[in-house]
Amino acid sequence: MKKGIIICVDDEKIILDSLKTELKNSFGDEFIIETAENAMEAIETFELLRSKKFEIPLIISDYIMPTMKGDEFLEKIHQLSPNTLKILLTGQATVEGVTNVINKANLYRLISKPWDSSDLILTVEQAIKSYSQQNQLELQNKQLRELSISLEEKVEKRTKELRKTNELLVEKQDEITSQNNELEEYRNHLEELVKTRTKELNTAKEKAEENDRLKSAFMANISHEIRTPMNGIIGFIDMLRSQEFEKDEQLNFLNLIENCTKQLMAIIIDIVEISKLETNQVKARISPFNTNSIPENLSSLFHYNLERNSDLELNIKFPEEEIECLTDGVKLQQILSNLVTNAIRYTPSGSIDVGLSITNDSNIVFYVKDTGIGIPKEFHKIIFERFRQVDIRLSRRYGGTGLGLAISKAYAELLGGKIWIESEPEKGSTFYLSIPYVPLNKDKAQKNGKNQLNGFHRKTVLVAEDDDTNFLFLNTALNRINFNSIRAKNGEEAVTICKNNENIDLILMDIKMPIMDGFEAAEEILKFRANIPIIAQSAYAFPTDKSKALKIGFAEYITKPTRLNVLIEVLKKHMEKIPVTPA
């Protein structure tokens, strides 16, 4: 380590040398003692030594010197190095000069000349100590400052990190809150679902119990119904075997046996039919049908019954004009015959009127009106359910199995129609059957349907339908109102036809089809013909199916059996959205 330097300044050479000698003796081991004879020389030496990185802890300067006095000199030194300690050595310094040097140069001590040696050495010793302590203090201060800065930086960095972590935590918290909300919603939804499901299951259970009860009642009833003709058959066969009877009596027995057999047959046919209807095995066979054949058929069918009851008359009044329509004529007559059978069965005396009218909304409404025992209001709906009878005791009296109206209602729905009743006990009942009127006669077509779609003819409809009967119905209906139709037998065919035929204006899409169902086909078609109206047709009227269809992009969802007026309304609504081809 370099030695420190003490500079002594005095213009009197003798004093300067004696000062140097005294200082050298006491501090020569640790310090170099430099001298200068005037202030300028001393400043030069000071700067030179400083540039060479020497430590100069102390300057001892005379006061009275030529060119620059001690106070001015020490002030300059102070400006260059505030830490260097300054001792003024004087015999005749002014008070002003000393005050000056104390204030401006931070004077360490004033030593008067001639100095006392021990005082000088002690003062220098203390000055050196004080310098080194001050330096140490400064060093420590510097280190402390640096430490404090680095600490501040660390604290700032840590604060930033903590703030970021906090932000992340807040975000996480938000996420957790939203997840919690979602979970809560889901839980509520699940609870709702469980409640609905439980309710549905309870209803299904009650229904199953009711069915069970009805089936038992039905079995008792059916066994009575079967036993009655069976007894007749067995009884008359025994009589024939006994050979005690005349020829004409025997012939009468044979007729009675035949009637009983027919009754049995009818019951068996009803039972088989209702189970086929329940499993969707019965389809309507739509073809042209003339309603004017109905009166004759009914008359001959019930001729025998009416002959046996002279208190009852059957009046059938149909319009004289020919009414040709598209329907399943066999099922239509079956319904009417069931209604007339009931009317005869539940009308001991009086009259039965049968007739029809055509309504403005393209329906044919048939009615069977009797003056019989009537039906209380609370039974008006449930008598159309299978095995339901107003009073089991009455059915013992009048016969019947509780299946006729259930079959009639199912048939009416197959024809795209409905059945209902107006009745009052003791006054009689009127049963109504309404089916869509799809006319065959051109003049009437103008009035019923075609004129509702003026301006839209020559539009082309793609009918995606796998069932032949349903297609025949839709095709005939469309042709009657002058629309062109093209058929696809499954979803895949519908997509291909649509790709190859730009003239298709609208699609009637069955949902349940082989190979590709209606949902998938519609999705495919909408990819390349986004604006084409696609009307879903489904026999399964589940609300989820409907919302699924609308979500996919179906323009409308209609349930089968399709009603003509509904079809026309839907075509009208969606054809209005596409440009009209001039007729």
Do 352 and 344 meet the contact criterion of CB atoms below 8 Å apart?
Answer: yes
Give the interface segment with ligand ADP, choosing from 17-25, 91-99, 395-403, 487-495 (CB under 6 A).
Answer: 395-403
Q: Which of 5, 233, 277, 405 binds ligand ADP (CB under 6 A)?
A: 405
Q: Measured between alpha carbons, how far is 442 from 324 in angstroms, rounded to an integer?
A: 10
389 near ligand ADP (CB under 6 A)? yes
Q: Measured between alpha carbons, how far is 405 from 391 in angstroms, rounded to an integer?
A: 15
Q: Which of 57, 229, 372, 417 binds ligand ADP (CB under 6 A)?
A: 372
Comparison of 123 and 389: residue with beta carbon closer to ligand ADP: 389
Comparison of 222 and 415: residue with beta carbon closer to ligand ADP: 222
Comparison of 91 and 350: residue with beta carbon closer to ligand ADP: 350
- Comparing CA positions, the residue from 572, 552, 414, 560 lying closest to residue 491 is 552
Do 312 and 344 meet the contact criterion of CB atoms below 8 Å apart?
Answer: yes
Tokens 């300057």 belong to residue: 59
Comparison of 183 and 219: residue with beta carbon closer to ligand ADP: 219
401 near ligand ADP (CB under 6 A)? yes
Comparison of 5 and 335: residue with beta carbon closer to ligand ADP: 335
Comparison of 6 and 368: residue with beta carbon closer to ligand ADP: 368
Please give the residues from 266 up to 305 whose contact with ligand ADP meets the rule CB under 6 A.
Answer: none
Give the interface segment with ligand ADP, choosing from 178-186, 230-238, 288-296, 365-373 (CB under 6 A).
Answer: 365-373
Q: Which of 395, 434, 485, 565 binds ligand ADP (CB under 6 A)?
A: 395
DSSP-derived 3-state class of residue 426: coil
CB of 201 to ligand ADP, least distance (A): 29
Do 507 and 533 meet the contact criterion of CB atoms below 8 Å apart?
Answer: yes
Q: What are 145's two structure tokens?
A: 């400052």
Comparison of 419 and 535: residue with beta carbon closer to ligand ADP: 419
CB of 317 to ligand ADP, least distance (A): 18
Q: Which of 46, 131, 302, 346 binds ligand ADP (CB under 6 A)?
A: 346
373 near ligand ADP (CB under 6 A)? yes
Which residue(s) pair with 327 in the sheet?
Answer: 287
Number of residues that bind ligand ADP (CB under 6 A): 21
Strands (E) across 414-571 are located at 418-424, 428-436, 460-464, 484-488, 504-510, 534-538, 556-559
Give the interface segment with ligand ADP, choosing from 147-155, 159-167, 319-327, 397-405 (CB under 6 A).
Answer: 397-405
CB within 8 Å of 241: residues ≥ 6 apart: none
Q: What angle do CA 377, 381, 382 make, to 5 degrees?
A: 105
411 near ligand ADP (CB under 6 A)? no
Comparison of 370 and 524: residue with beta carbon closer to ligand ADP: 370
Q: What is the contact mask toward ligand ADP in residues 305 to 344, using x (rule: CB under 6 A)? A: -------------------------------------xx-
Q: What are 423's two structure tokens?
A: 């009745």
Q: What are 327's two structure tokens?
A: 């329907």
Sheet order of strands, 534-538 included: 484-488, 460-464, 504-510, 534-538, 556-559
Dihedral of alpha carbons 233, 236, 242, 243, sign:
negative
Q: Measured between alpha carbons, how far is 225 from 211 in angstroms, rounded to an integer?
A: 20
Please give the residues from 414 up to 453 whose contact with ligand ADP meets the rule CB under 6 A.
Answer: 429
383 near ligand ADP (CB under 6 A)? yes
Give the interface segment with ligand ADP, choosing from 45-53, 165-173, 369-377, 515-523 (CB under 6 A).
Answer: 369-377
403 near ligand ADP (CB under 6 A)? yes
Comparison of 8 and 406: residue with beta carbon closer to ligand ADP: 406
DSSP-derived 3-state class of residue 504: strand
Do 510 and 539 meet the contact criterion of CB atoms below 8 Å apart?
Answer: no
Comparison of 54 and 379: residue with beta carbon closer to ligand ADP: 379
- Is the bond preceding residue 66 a cis peptide, omega within 30 degrees? no
Give the interface segment with ligand ADP, choosing from 113-121, 305-313, 322-330, 404-412 (CB under 6 A).
Answer: 404-412
390 near ligand ADP (CB under 6 A)? yes
Give the interface segment with ligand ADP, choosing from 143-151, 281-289, 303-311, 394-402 (CB under 6 A).
Answer: 394-402
Q: Measured between alpha carbons, how far is 351 from 343 in angstroms, rounded to an integer?
A: 9
Give the interface segment with ligand ADP, choosing from 14-22, 61-69, 205-213, 389-397 (CB under 6 A).
Answer: 389-397
77 near ligand ADP (CB under 6 A)? no
List, in sequence order, the alpha helices (H) in 346-425.
Answer: 392-398, 404-414
Do 333 and 371 meet the contact criterion of CB atoms below 8 Å apart?
Answer: no
Give the interface segment with ligand ADP, choosing from 95-103, 383-391, 437-445, 537-545 (CB under 6 A).
Answer: 383-391
- Comparing CA positions, the residue from 515, 511, 505, 413 lying closest to residue 456 is 505
DSSP-derived 3-state class of residue 486: strand
Alpha-carbon distances, residue 76 vs 56, 62, 65, 88, 156 (angstroms): 15, 15, 15, 14, 42
The site for ligand ADP (CB under 6 A) is made up of 342-343, 346, 370, 372-373, 375, 383, 388-390, 394-395, 400-406, 429
